[in-house]
Amino acid sequence: MYSFGILLSVLVSKAHAWVALPAAQSYISVHKSTTKNPSYLKMSNMIGGSLHGQNSCFLPLQQQEEDFCAPRIIQIAGGYPGITKDEYYAVQSEPAAELGQWTYDFSDPDGPQMGTVAIPGSLAVSSCEDPVVLIAEHTSLGVELPETVKGVVDLITLVDRSKTEFSERKFIVFESEGMLEIGAFEKKTDMPLGCNILGRVELVMIPWLPSMKTSKSGFAEADEYF
């Protein structure tokens, strides 16, 4: 396993889980509970330091846009191949943050997940109703990497468990003989008899590795990246 497998093992050893606050309890609601509290402001002034805008002191503020998509922390159900249906459904998902805001996550050492991972924010990620992450070996998905990359590389595979309808040539997660499989089919009749669709792959993230080239060519047909 490549170095990213080591990272996963560290996450497993820590056995962290995360529980996100509801979207309503996002940054703004927490912020108001402190800055609107007169006793809090009085205590801040008693410390003796300047507040924002006082004595030419200014915080490095950043106002989020109304369509800002915060990174989403998603629980890892396990590694693929080899994960079972029970392990797949053992972890929970939390609502995405409201656009322009973010949520907080707190550890739960007794949770069933193998760790968590932050996925860059986007509308596609935010729209997942029941997301979970599988750490998949790149060879198990048929993803080809440059020849300079040696060994097996872990890919972050984002799955939306709420999408259980068949879609042609879309990669789905399905159960086969008690284990989970990932694949795409042109027709539903091409699927193994009696298997159930358990989710759809929404995003696969490939890591940057030192053995990869340091820049793109500028021509899509010549690039080695996806």
Write out pLDDT tens, residues 19-38: 344 443 444 444 444 445 55
Q: Name the residue with higher pLDDT: 93 or 222.
A: 93
Per-residue pLDDT tens digits for 164-200: 999 999 999 999 888 899 999 999 999 988 889 999 9
Q: What span, in angstroms and rounded, lies between the C-alpha atoms of 172 and 169?
A: 9
**Per-residue pLDDT, 187:** 92
Domain ranges of the chain: 3-23+68-205
Q: In Å, how far are 24, 120, 144, 193, 204 from 138, measured between CA atoms? A: 38, 20, 7, 26, 10
Q: What span, in angstroms and rounded, lies between the C-alpha atoms of 5 and 117?
A: 14
Question: Helix axis angle, 27-35 relative to 38-47, nearest 10°?
Answer: 70
CATH number of 3-23+68-205: 2.10.109
Per-residue pLDDT tens digits for 87-125: 999 998 888 877 766 666 666 667 766 678 888 888 889
Strands (E), 66-121: 72-80, 105-107, 116-119
